[in-house]
Structure 1
């Protein structure tokens, strides 16, 4: 607390005498389809239409002396549909930079109205090719929602069709699919798991490495996405990073659950439009632990650090070059000597565990406007993940005596090249096409010692492979109310020499007053986890790799959507979906095993001799009632009713590990103005109730023999856990100074202290099963200064 007090006093002393404080709002406007910068676009402040400006020949604009608080801006241009940007937060500590895209009207208009529909820009996605099951989000939502902790994945669990039943990790289940079935994309680059403690066999982790201070408005998809996205079955995070301020140096200091943080942005040299943006963070959980706050890891202290950056440089009038990246490192020592059987802990009293993770992602993007109708984007990328894990058995009579029993080293290097072409034929027809080549080099070694004596090699493979993806998609706007997007996606995996050609189509009708209808179909496919391909089959002649010929997991997806705009700021959305999965890897010998259940555990689950003969099906209904932020109040109510089942090689239909059947979320918040300045007190509440996950009964006899937990495969996923319940409350305060902003918040996680089950473990000393419980009540303080 001394650090916080010192920062506050220092921050306060640099302020001048209170006065009427205003801020600059600037940005860029472009055509939605061609990406061409638009000149002569009118940008107005809705509360004071005299504050008006026009975009220049490069599409840039600037409004000065804008009052603090949530503001609405109206954007109009001859020949384009008007747009309203609502609830743009204007603070003293940072200039506002907006990226705006306009859709050309099919009607020839000589004049435009000054007003625009208040809801026209409320949920406008970045990608104009999206028809259904898509939602945009921004930095404000990742910070404002209770329980989100500035994490896009945790924030997404508020959306219909998205589930998390884990208090300590941010893995998300989309419409009954494994967390591994989704795609993370950053600035158009396909990236690996962007989380601390994010293992190779999962797409989540304990803490996100993505810094919310850098995230721009981004898209999140939950199914039947268009042809430009591939190698995914459930959903896509299409993340965008904002550019730094190219005219003024600005800074941020922050402390919260995600760590101590410092950031800076500003212009580079004398080049117009050149900017840098960088944020560094170091974990604070050790500080919380010293204060006696329990966060679900017992005596173990998670340690992590990360770096996010983006450098943007304008080349001439039509070119733009940007360098961006993420780097993160995390580790934790989970010791038997620090195990607390009465508390919550990852560990136990009979083993020591030492996880180590390191991830780096970097990309170089070049965008060039060939002409008024055509733009290209070329990206070069490199990513590296290094995962290490060691586990030792501890002698209960002599805790200093240990026996190594698990050891793995997973190293992945990926080199990527991406080329996208955007072309607009006219107001009715536009085309996007592209190609992606990912070349991956890997070193995988996984050894287990059974009872400290018998050695088992699970993975032992070095190699490389390529995954090539290509797509083309065409948008046809028949009228201002009716549009269709059709496309083809193709991918080829050199490792198993398999390919897939996937048709996609989406239709949207915006008519009948306040109603919008949509339909989408897509054939989607995904390669298996690299650990599955590299699983060892031990023979007398040596190691064989019987899974390397596996083809893609494939699925047909159908979605019907209806969105009813009840009022300008309130809408009711329902989506009915069906997903048929096929070519799923299962064992040759009859069993209940299916790779559709991988991702339920962070420890690798490996089987050899797999064949693409399994099937699965997911279907359900998602309902969303949402009031967008208006007059200081918002709410989001979602409900999902679904079924997720699969069939192994034994031909029996079973629940998947992710078949919770129903999910209910209630999220709401209110802001009040305090004092003469635009100081804000806020309250946000979230309540979630999720049907229990299915588990397999533990095979006690087999667990005793093996030394690890074993399950009754003939009764796989037949036992349902109790329902998951969690409530979060967040209180916040934002104080405006002359040239800076201070934000204070307290996020009260799991306020009811509900003990949700994390997982089951086998006690090799006592020869019984123990339940490991998740994080209980956990208060998270937050302090942020921008200046």
Structure 2
């Protein structure tokens, strides 16, 4: 308390001389070409302040008062836009890039529009079920752990009631239906301790401090996105400060110890940005943040080198490198550990990397060509040694599970964007991905003792060294039919060399602006996704010959239908409602009557290893309604309420309609925050943020206790799969902190405490068979946990 009091005293003694900088780039939203001579004005200040953009569309506003500010951008023949709530500090320049859209009638007068709407995506061709998010949101929301995946869990249509992982369940779809993209190319699972074929993990390797405003899409994606059924994270790295050097040092319980550096680079007005993190618990040797006593070690490095504008165009080099490991030692584990067992030593290693070279060149006055070449690798290694006859004189240890997975990916992406007129924009391109897959899975679980040595045989389920290619061309356009009606339409194609299947996917959305405060949106899309690799490459013994009987499976097929209504409730309020239906077919199911479907996979670190000779005859559907009510940050506070009521069902080969494991039924999130200016200059901030989440419990398959006791391992009652439901999920998080701006130097500090699961609510993690006690145990998720953080910018 003494330290906190001293911070308050310090903040109250700072002088009135605090100022910061707002700068950025202004472009034409349709052509994405810089606008020369656009006017940028600082609003709501005693002294009028403004500037115009240079030849490259850049602007700089200096001596801006500290705090939240607003700017207005105008340009002859374009709609004027206002950007509110820009956080100006002494420690770092505020970089605000803005896209303006040309007036429909090309008049020499501007149309005044209200503040930007965060629910509108950066991708101009995404009109429905899309939202952009910012660095400030990732770092601000309580309980978010500076994780973009956990941030998305606050949006309507997203469910993630699992404190141990950041898997994203979009509208009842499996997390494996999510596509991660960085700078326009697909990337492997960007999470530490990730597993082969999954898209989530316990700790994110995406550093939010290097992100620019990015998009999250939940349905009916535009034609440039493919090989995904559930959602798309379309991430982009920001450029470093091209005018001066800036540094950030910070530490947090979940994010770890971190350093970021950026500044000018090269002779062509380029910049560099590099950030590195290492787990704090790994440094101090503490156990994981709830859920296990094992110590996780992880680090990641992110970078973006912009070589500036040359006569050959703009080149940039970007990438992420991440590594993680953790050892679960049976002697240190208890029955409540989320990830390990008392009779096993489990060693987990994983790493991934992405490096890409991006080139962009302007063609004429209204077109550009963007090309990205990237290479990525994702590796994981899991070894489990099981203790037999534990705690007896006959105790011994045997290799029980061995899983090694390596995926190397070479990607080529190019797109051509052209603004044909102020009413028509065309975009076409192609994405080519080549996958090299090496995987080995050997396991004794549920295996017979054929060789008679007294132990289940170590059986090979996957042993693959293969190569395949996925080719995805597309064409799409935006057509402003009238002042009120905009049509986005396109076709995406997909061809896979493994199954030699070619599909065409029409996509379309229609936006009708009823008036300045209300709009109606419609969307449709046909989407396909390949079955995940851990299922495709499973071995089956057919008449003494080992064959991969799933490798020729077709793509899973999905039709998306969406209708949405947006309304502005006031100057700082908005509401949105969306109704959707998703019909899924060609899911992988067993050839004989069973409850299994590939639509149920992906909610854990593992996939079933005995699902062979699958056929594409499974179906499913997701449907629901979503409501968002949002109070944009103004007058010192913000609020967000999202509600999703949905249904997720599937049918296996037995033709029985069942709940999917992702059918929570409802999700409600309420977030709010308040800032209080303090000190003589009132330019330092005391802030409070809170988040309350409710969700229906997950459906699960009950355990056959008697059969499990007889077999010595968990046996599920698959004839009544996903027939029981865990208790409802509830969690309340509370965060508070202090932002301090230096009176004389370019320095700022931020401190925060984030009390997660403040009520210590016992949310169910899993019910599982304990082979040591021959009982069914319930394991709860992470209870109350106090997170903390400090950030120093200079």
Give the aligned partner of residue 270 of structure 2.
274
Give the aligned partner of residue 342 of structure 2.
349
1:125 CA drift (Å):
2.2
Give the aligned partner of residue 452 of structure 2.
none
Instruction: Count the aligned residue pairs.
Output: 773
Pair 1:600–1:702, CA change in 2 (3 A): farther
Answer with 704-713 or 640-649: which moved more. 704-713
Give the aligned partner of residue 325 of structure 1.
319
Distance 1:614 1:425 in 2: 44
Q: Which runs of 5+ in 2 are unaligned?
A: 448-454
Give the aligned partner of residue 746 of structure 2.
739
Distance 2:200 2:298 in 1: 15
Give the aligned partner of residue 756 of structure 2.
749
Distance 1:125 1:305 in 2: 31
- Alignment check: 8 A CA contact 2:288 2:295 kept: no
Q: Tell me, what secondary structure is at the counterpart of 2:48?
A: strand
Answer with 387-396 or 145-154: which moved more. 387-396
CA deviation digits over 1:433-457, x for unaligned, max 9? Answer: 1100000001111011247432221
Residue 636 (structure 1) aligned to one of 640, 662, 665: 640
1:700 CA drift (Å):
2.9
After TM superposition, list the pairs within 5 Å mapping 1:23-172 onto structure 2: 23-48=20-45, 50-112=48-110, 116-172=112-168
Q: Tell me, what secondary structure is at the counterpart of 1:609?
A: coil
Distance 2:545 2:495 in 1: 29
Query: TM-score, normalised to structure 1's length?
Result: 0.95
Distance 1:123 1:179 in 2: 22
Residue 433 (structure 2) aligned to one of 438, 449, 454: 438
- Alignment check: 8 A CA contact 1:486 1:505 kept: yes
Residue 655 (structure 1) aligned to one of 659, 666, 685: 659
Answer with 649-658 or 197-206: which moved more. 197-206
Give the aligned partner of residue 625 of structure 1.
629
Q: Tell me, what secondary structure is at the counterpart of 1:547?
A: coil
After TM superposition, list the pairs within 5 Å mapping 1:417-566 onto structure 2: 417-450=412-445, 452-566=455-569
User: Is 1:370 the counterpart of 2:363 in the alignment?
Assistant: yes
Distance 2:40 2:84 in 1: 13
Pair 1:368–1:593, CA change in 2 (3 A): same
Distance 1:636 1:297 in 2: 29
1:348 CA drift (Å):
2.5
Q: Tell me, what secondary structure is at the counterpart of 1:596?
A: helix
User: Is 1:177 the counterpart of 2:173 in the alignment?
Assistant: yes
Residue 330 (structure 2) aligned to one of 336, 341, 344: 336
Distance 1:388 1:769 in 2: 29
Residue 765 (structure 1) aligned to one of 761, 772, 790: 772
Give the aligned partner of residue 252 of structure 1.
248
- Alignment check: 8 A CA contact 1:84 1:121 kept: no
Distance 2:16 2:774 in 1: 70
Answer with 611-620 or 41-50: which moved more. 41-50
Distance 1:289 1:781 in 2: 17
- Alignment check: 8 A CA contact 1:558 1:577 kept: yes
1:527 CA drift (Å):
0.6
Q: Which runs of 5+ in 1 are unaligned?
A: none
Distance 1:65 1:582 in 2: 59
CA deviation digits over 1:521-571, x for unaligned, max 9? Answer: 000110110111100101333210110110100111100000111112101
Give the aligned partner of residue 711 of structure 1.
716
CA deviation digits over 1:288-322, x for unaligned, max 9? Answer: 774xx872233211110110110001232672111
Answer with 646-655 or 669-678: which moved more. 669-678
Q: Tell me, what secondary structure is at the counterpart of 1:332?
A: strand
Pair 1:672–1:19, CA change in 2 (3 A): closer
Pair 1:84–1:288, CA change in 2 (3 A): farther
1:18 CA drift (Å):
4.4
Distance 1:568 1:384 in 2: 47
- Alignment check: 8 A CA contact 1:85 1:121 kept: no
User: Is 1:727 the counterpart of 2:732 in the alignment?
Assistant: yes
1:765 CA drift (Å):
2.2
Across the aligned residues of Structure 1 and Structure 2, the Cα RMSD in angstroms comes to 2.1
Answer with 541-550 or 122-131: which moved more. 122-131
Distance 1:401 1:456 in 2: 20
1:705 CA drift (Å):
5.4
Residue 284 (structure 1) aligned to one of 280, 284, 288: 280
4+ residue runs over 6 A deviation: none
Give the aligned partner of residue 692 of structure 1.
697
Residue 201 (structure 1) aligned to one of 186, 197, 206: 197
Distance 1:72 1:401 in 2: 68
Pair 1:745–1:58, CA change in 2 (3 A): same
Pair 1:472–1:396, CA change in 2 (3 A): same
Q: Tell me, what secondary structure is at the counterpart of 1:141?
A: helix
Give the aligned partner of residue 585 of structure 2.
582
Give the aligned partner of residue 598 of structure 2.
595
- Alignment check: 8 A CA contact 1:369 1:376 kept: yes
CA deviation digits over 1:250-307, x for unaligned, max 9? Answer: 10000012100011001114x14211100110001246774xx872233211110110
Distance 1:317 1:33 in 2: 23
Query: TM-score, normalised to structure 2's length?
Result: 0.94
CA deviation digits over 1:346-367, x for unaligned, max 9? Answer: 3232212111111111111001
1:579 CA drift (Å):
0.3
Distance 1:550 1:220 in 2: 29
Q: Tell me, what secondary structure is at the counterpart of 1:213?
A: helix
User: Is 1:389 the counterpart of 2:382 in the alignment?
Assistant: yes
Distance 2:622 2:628 in 1: 19
Distance 2:14 2:324 in 1: 44
Distance 1:165 1:103 in 2: 39
Q: Tell me, what secondary structure is at the counterpart of 1:605?
A: coil
User: Is 1:191 the counterpart of 2:187 in the alignment?
Assistant: yes
CA deviation digits over 1:678-712, x for unaligned, max 9? Answer: 10111111111110110111123443455432211
Q: Tell me, what secondary structure is at the counterpart of 2:34?
A: coil
1:386 CA drift (Å):
0.7
